[in-house]
Structures are given as structure tokens and as C-alpha cells.
């Protein structure tokens, strides 16, 4: 039976190079040229003259010692097949030799990609433990920084490590440059329209209750009890903007990017969308838990607020997940997310004669429900046109 092997053009050129080297040795030359490094090598015929590794589409490769070894992964895209061969026995044939030499790393990669839901739950558990520890124990939001930023930076680090292990690029989870400004604009327009309506509704309600209302620009964190500390000054505003950018990169990259794309490799689109939204809702339970431990709310209010957070944040997660699917990147959702957190929650406040942001939660709920309805409507219209 005849065996057929398929090789790439790059490998074919390496074969020809090796044959030329052998011909040089037969002519009595005292050196040959390595076809890969292009360096002159001493070679009188007694040294190993095999400078290439044959890669078969069967999933095996021949090493320089003529042994047949199982190849780590074959590339399904011929345009990405390796031009320069990796030195790692476990590396793949797609030209990416980085982070591929460790058997433990390859084992972790296989486990993550095989058990995507469990993998996401483990990653999420690690992240929310750090989030809770910072919010409840370290209380970085009560320092001069005014923000729980450690868990966000840690989350970006975890995201980087996981992407390296599974050999995905940042663009694979939505951080691609195509249409960057356009998608940012879509997110900001959606947020501005929604919050203009919700701010107007909030002011009308307060005025109907006899309050004198106005808008104030200063930094203050979100609080369920209305006791957020207020800071003024350009330095605090710039820190607020910076930490909110870090926040949306981490949360959108993790929930809409990694968790969504990872589970979609072996589950349906609907399951992936709801799964990441559920985790995103649970992620926000840390806030009422913080208030419960401080004694600001009782257990009944904690349960009610926790359920409310899961529902509201879950709807936001679905909305931003749909924006990702419609635009092809995370940037529209990131812009809307940033406006909600930074502008509508931390910077632009409704002030009365006695309090600040007395109805902030109402403002956020109105804006998020409006924007969710708008995105869902556009999504359904597009789905109908595709059928």
C-alpha cells in the first residue's frame, strides 16, 4: 500500500536545501550551510547532516535521531503552517513556539479546552475570592485611591496567563483593532441616550417631591447606603477614569471575552451568553455582602439586593455580550460599561439640598433597561434578516 505524505512549500524548500548540502559534501567541501540558520558549519561527512524535521499530516514527526514522535497539534489553516520549525517536541505546526515546551502546560491547556465550564468556574472562583478579600478586608475603596483596583489588575494578569496557556491571542477574545473608533462610538451613543433619559426621569421625580435639584461633577463611589466618600480635584477625577478603564478591560475581557468564547467552543451560543452573564451577576454580590458585614443592611435586605444584582448585572452582561456578537469586538460594550461605571456612577451626580444621588439605583436601572431593550431589538431584527 502506498503511503502519501503532504508537506508545505516551506518544508519542501528545506528538503532541497538538505540535498544541496549533501551534494557539497560529496564534492569534498569542508563546510556546509545550515538551511535554517544560514550559518556556515564545519562538516566533513562524519557529523549529523539532517537539518530538518519531517512533519506528517498523520500527527507524527521524525526527529534528527530518526525516532518517530507524536506531534503536539497540527494546524488546520495551511496559511499559518510553520515556516521555521519549533525545537519543542510538543509544539504545534502553526508557527507558535512560545509557552509550548512544558508537559504540564500542555496538560492544562487540554483540560481547560475540554472542560470549559468547569475551567471558567475555577477561574471565576479565584477572581471573586481576591475581589471579596480586597473589598471586605483590604478595603482599598476607602483609601486615597477610592477604588478596589487590586482585583482588577490581578484579573488582567490571570487573563494573560490563561491566554498564554491555551495559546489564544487577545484579538481572539474581542480585543481586535478593526472598527475600534466606530465601536467605541456605538457604545458611547447608546449610553448617552439611555442615561439622558434616566437622569431626566430622576430629576423630574425629585422635583415632584419638592426637592431643589442640580448636577455635580466630583468623584464618589457607588454605595447602597448613600454613604460614599466624596472627593474633588482633577487628580481624583483622572484616577477615577484610569481605574474604570482598567475595570472594563478586566471585566469585559474576562466575562464577555474569555468565558464567552471558551464555553462556546463546545456549547451553544445561547448557553455561553447566559453562562457568562450569570457569573457576571454573581460577581456583583460582593457589594451587598460588604454592606451586610458592616451592619449597614440585614440578612433579608442582603438576599433581596443580591438577587437584584444578579438580575440587573446579568441583563447588562447579556446586553454587552450581544454587542460583542453584533460588532465583532468588545469595544462597544466596554464604552457602554465605562459610561455606566465612571460617568453615571462615579462622576456625574444628582444633588439635592440634603443628599447626593438619592435615587442613583433608579437612574441606573432605567438606563440599563432602556439600553438592553434597544440592543435586544436590534439583535432580533438582524436575526430575522439573516433567516
Give per-residue pLDDT as tens, 7-64: 566 666 667 666 666 655 555 554 555 555 556 555 544 444 444 555 544 545 454 4
Mean pLDDT for the stretch of residues 201-205 = 96
> Could you tell me if 109 and 90 lie in one domain?
no
E strands along the chain, which residues? 31-33, 40-42, 54-55, 60-62, 68-70, 214-217, 219-220, 230-231, 348-351
Q: Would you say residue 70 lies in a domain?
A: yes
Decide if pLDDT at 2 tops 90. no
Could you say which of 60, 79, 100 is where a domain stops? 100
E strand or H helix that includes residue 343: none
The pLDDT mean for the chain works out to: 82
| Residue 93: closest CA among 62, 68, 71 | 71
Mean pLDDT for the stretch of residues 280-304 = 95
What percent of the chain has pLDDT above 70?
71
The neighbouring-strand residues paired with 215 are 350
Torsion angles phi and psi, residue 126, rounded to 5: -65, -45
Q: Answer with the residue of higher pLDDT: 67 or 195.
A: 195
Mean pLDDT for the stretch of residues 204-218 = 94
* DSSP 8-state secondary structure symbol assigned to residue 61: E
CA dist 38 and 55 (Å) reads 21
Q: Would you say residue 252 lies in a domain?
A: yes
Could you say which of 51, 72, 100 is where a domain stops? 100
> Could you tell me if 74 and 165 lie in one domain?
no
The pLDDT assigned to 80 comes to 43
Q: Would you say residue 1 lies in a domain?
A: no
Q: Would you say residue 257 lies in a domain?
A: yes
CA dist 373 and 244 (Å) reads 25
CA dist 58 and 6 (Å) reads 9
| Residue 329: closest CA among 170, 190, 117 | 170
Mean pLDDT for the stretch of residues 91-103 = 52
Q: How far apart are the first and last CA of the chain?
A: 48
* DSSP 8-state secondary structure symbol assigned to residue 78: G
Please write the tens of the pLDDT for every residue from 303-321: 999 999 999 999 999 999 9
3-state helix, strand, coil in the chain (%, to 5): 60, 5, 30
Decide if pLDDT at 374 tops 90. yes
> Could you tell me if 358 and 294 lie in one domain?
yes
- What SS3 class is residue 185? helix
> Residue 94's Cα: distance from chain center in Å?
23
- What SS3 class is residue 31? strand
∠ CA(127), CA(130), CA(134), 5° rounding? 140
Decide if pLDDT at 81 tops 60. no
Mean pLDDT for the stretch of residues 180-191 = 97
Q: Would you say residue 2 lies in a domain?
A: no
The pLDDT assigned to 57 comes to 47
* DSSP 8-state secondary structure symbol assigned to residue 181: H
For the chain, the domain total comes to 2
> Could you tell me if 30 and 155 lie in one domain?
no
| Residue 343: closest CA among 136, 187, 166, 134 | 187
> Could you tell me if 202 and 164 lie in one domain?
yes
E strand or H helix that includes residue 286: helix 286-293
> Could you tell me if 63 and 130 lie in one domain?
no
| Domain span holding position 16 | 9-100
Decide if pLDDT at 296 tops 60. yes
> Could you tell me if 91 and 151 lie in one domain?
no
> Could you tell me if 88 and 136 lie in one domain?
no
Question: What's the predicted TM-score (pTM) here?
Answer: 0.74
Could you say which of 44, 75, 100 is where a domain stops? 100
> Could you tell me if 295 and 215 lie in one domain?
yes
CA separation, residue 276 to residues 53, 64, 260, 290 (Å): 43, 47, 6, 23
Decide if pLDDT at 6 tops 90. no
Least confident of 61-65, 162-166, 173-177, 219-223: 61-65
Decide if pLDDT at 224 tops 80. no
- What SS3 class is residue 350? strand
Decide if pLDDT at 82 tops 70. no
Amino acid at each position: 500500500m502506498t503511503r502519501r505524505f503532504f508537506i508545505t512549500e516551506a518544508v519542501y524548500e528545506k528538503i532541497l536545501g538538505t540535498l544541496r548540502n549533501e551534494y557539497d559534501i560529496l564534492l569534498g567541501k569542508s563546510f556546509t550551510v545550515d538551511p535554517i540558520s544560514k550559518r556556515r558549519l564545519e562538516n566533513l561527512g562524519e557529523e549529523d547532516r539532517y537539518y530538518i524535521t519531517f512533519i506528517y499530516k498523520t500527527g507524527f514527526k521524525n526527529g534528527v535521531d530518526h525516532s518517530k514522535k507524536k506531534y503536539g497539534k497540527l494546524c488546520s489553516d495551511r496559511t499559518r503552517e510553520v515556516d521555521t520549525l519549533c525545537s519543542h517536541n510538543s509544539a504545534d505546526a502553526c508557527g507558535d513556539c512560545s509557552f509550548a515546551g512544558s508537559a504540564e502546560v500542555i496538560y492544562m491547556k487540554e483540560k481547560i479546552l475540554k472542560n470549559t465550564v468547569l475551567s471558567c468556574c475555577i477561574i471565576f472562583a479565584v477572581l471573586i475570592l481576591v475581589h471579596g478579600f480586597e473589598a471586605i478586608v483590604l478595603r482599598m475603596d476607602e483609601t486615597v485611591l477610592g477604588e478596589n483596583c487590586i482585583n482588577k489588575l490581578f484579573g488582567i494578569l490571570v487573563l494573560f496567563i490563561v491566554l498564554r496557556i491555551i495559546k489564544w491571542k487577545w484579538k481572539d477574545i474581542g480585543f481586535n483593532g478593526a472598527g475600534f473608533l466606530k465601536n467605541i462610538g456605538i457604545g458611547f451613543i447608546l449610553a448617552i441616550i439611555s442615561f439622558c433619559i434616566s437622569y431626566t426621569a430622576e430629576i423630574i421625580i425629585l422635583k415632584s417631591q419638592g426637592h431643589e435639584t442640580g448636577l455635580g461633577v466630583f468623584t464618589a463611589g457607588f454605595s447602597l447606603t448613600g454613604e460614599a466618600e466624596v472627593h474633588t480635584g482633577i487628580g481624583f477625577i483622572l484616577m477615577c477614569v484610569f481605574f474604570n478603564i482598567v475595570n472594563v478591560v478586566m471585566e469585559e475581557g474576562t466575562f464577555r471575552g474569555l468565558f464567552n468564547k471558551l464555553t462556546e467552543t463546545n456549547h451553544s451560543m445561547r448557553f455561553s451568553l447566559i453562562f457568562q452573564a450569570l457569573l457576571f451577576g454573581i460577581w456583583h454580590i460582593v457589594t451587598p455582602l460588604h454592606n451586610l458585614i458592616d451592619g449597614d443592611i440585614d440578612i433579608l435586605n442582603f438576599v433581596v439586593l443580591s438577587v437584584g444584582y444578579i438580575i440587573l448585572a446579568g441583563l447588562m452582561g447579556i446586553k454587552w455580550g450581544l454587542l460583542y456578537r453584533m460588532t465583532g469586538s468588545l469595544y462597544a460594550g466596554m464604552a457602554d460599561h465605562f459610561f455606566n461605571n465612571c460617568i453615571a456612577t462615579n462622576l456625574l451626580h444628582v444633588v439635592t439640598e440634603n443628599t447626593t444621588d438619592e435615587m442613583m439605583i433608579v437612574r441606573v436601572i432605567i438606563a440599563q433597561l432602556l439600553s438592553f431593550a434597544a440592543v435586544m431589538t436590534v439583535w432580533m431584527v438582524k436575526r430575522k434578516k439573516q433567516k
